[in-house]
Amino acid sequence: MLSYRHAFHAGNFADVLKHAVLHLTMEHMVRKDKAMTCIDTHAGAGMYRLQGDHAQKTGEYQEGIAKLWQRDDLPEALQPYIDHIKQLNPGNTLKTYPGSPAITQSWLRRDDNLYLYELHPNDHKLLNRQFERRKKVRVAQSDGYHALKALLPPPSRRGIVLIDPPYELKTDYQQAIKAIQNGYQRFSTGTYMVWYPVVKRGFIDDMVKQIQRSQMRNVLQIELCIQPDNNEFGMTGTGMLVVNPPWKLKQQMEEVLPYLVKHLGTADSSFSLKQLVEE
Ligand SMILES: C[S@@+](CC[C@H](N)C(=O)[O-])C[C@H]1O[C@@H](n2cnc3c(N)ncnc32)[C@H](O)[C@@H]1O
């Protein structure tokens, strides 16, 4: 248990999709003056060194962010994400990659709060070191699913929740959906994002059914498949389920997904964008 380290995967194609969606969601949230609460149930280490041993061992970021960050024909909707990457990497070498905590934190205003949960002792230590001086950010080495129950609804009744488990355990597929279902019952106007890998299509189909059978309304499914589905060879694609997405997100993804297929994929790659449940 707890063998997953995100440092091996930081900046890969799945992070590109997840982090582009996270930026667009945050950009939308800060348009209103009202304070918000952000919750990241599976936070990881917060920031990653792409020249470090972990990232260099897999080289996954070379097939993700490395292919995009210096392009000059980006769709407008990828700009906030790529601007953040460029800000962290002022030279010509890609050295630093922000995880979801650093992305969310980059949008926080004076009255917003960010809650981060990370179980792995090493990643928790790194995360804590990064945020210990930030008054509006709280870091805990505890179960993010469990913590979510106590935090919803947030006092300001505005907030986002990111659920990004490692899926080392097959139970994560149902647990992630159960967590947003429970959250939705207490806070139905919140925005919930669940990230998932496409490893076995059956697991995703079950998640979708679980959502369609629930009370949740307004659910968008965003998917980027680098290879066709294949139940045997690891992660071939990635997706996000977004409950109460920003109203422009679908339209923005219509522009982003074909671009990602073109620049990160091959002739066999594909995307899909579905309104799973109407408003
Ligand atoms: C995919 S990584 C997170 C990456 C991060 N959200 C990002 O986008 O930069 C998943 C993390 O969840 C942690 N984890 C696994 N189960 C957890 C749980 N029940 N509660 C909190 N953290 C957990 C793992 O140690 C791992 O660091």
**CB distance 6 to ligand 1 below 6 Å:** yes
Counting from 1 in the atom list of ligand 1, the atom nearest the Cα of 2 is 25
Residues 21 and 269: their CA atoms lie apart, in Å, by 19
111 carries an active-site annotation:
no
pLDDT band of residue 185 (cuts 50, 70, 90) is very high
* pLDDT at position 245 over 70: yes
Find out whether 201 and 233 touch, Cβ atoms under 8 Å: no
* Cβ count within 10 A of residue 135: 8
218 has pLDDT over 70: yes
| Residue 19 belongs to a domain | yes
Is the Cβ atom of 23 under 6 angstroms away from ligand 1?
A: no
Average pLDDT, the chain: 96
**Residue 22: pLDDT above 80?**
yes
The structure tokens listed for 49 are: 């060194």
- Over residues 100-111, the pLDDT tens digits come to 999 999 999 999
Check residue 233 and give its pLDDT: 79
pLDDT value of position 136? 94
Q: Is residue 29 part of a domain?
A: yes
Domain that holds residue 44: 6-212
Side-chain half-sphere of 146: how many Cα atoms within 13 Å? Answer: 6
Of 15, 112, 123, 164, catalytic: 164
Would you say 241 and 253 are in contact if contact means Cβ atoms under 8 Å apart? no
pLDDT of residue 277: 97
DSSP 8-state class, residue 90: -
Residues 34-90: pLDDT tens digits? Answer: 999 999 999 999 999 999 999 999 999 999 999 999 999 999 999 999 999 999 999
pLDDT > 90? residue 1: no
Over residues 135-177, the pLDDT tens digits come to 899 999 999 999 999 999 999 999 999 999 999 999 999 999 9
Report yes or no on 248 lying in a domain: no
Phi and psi at residue 22, in whole multiples of 5°? -65, -45
State CA 60 to chain mean position distance: 17
Work out the pLDDT band at 232, boundaries 50, 70, 90.
Answer: confident
What is the CATH number for 108? 3.40.50.150
The predicted-structure confidence for 219-231, as pLDDT tens digits, reads as follows: 999 999 999 999 8
Number of compact structural domains in the chain:
1
CA–centroid distance, 240 to ligand 1, in Å, is: 16
Closest CA to 265 of 224, 226, 229: 226
Which secondary-structure segment (H or E) carries 39? strand 37-40
pTM over 0.95: yes
Query: Residue 3: its pLDDT value, please?
Result: 87
Q: Which atom of ligand 1 is nearest to the CA of 45?
A: 27
Q: What is the CA radius of gyration of the chain?
A: 17
Asked if residue 207 lies in contact with residue 173, where contact means CB atoms within 8 angstroms, the answer is yes
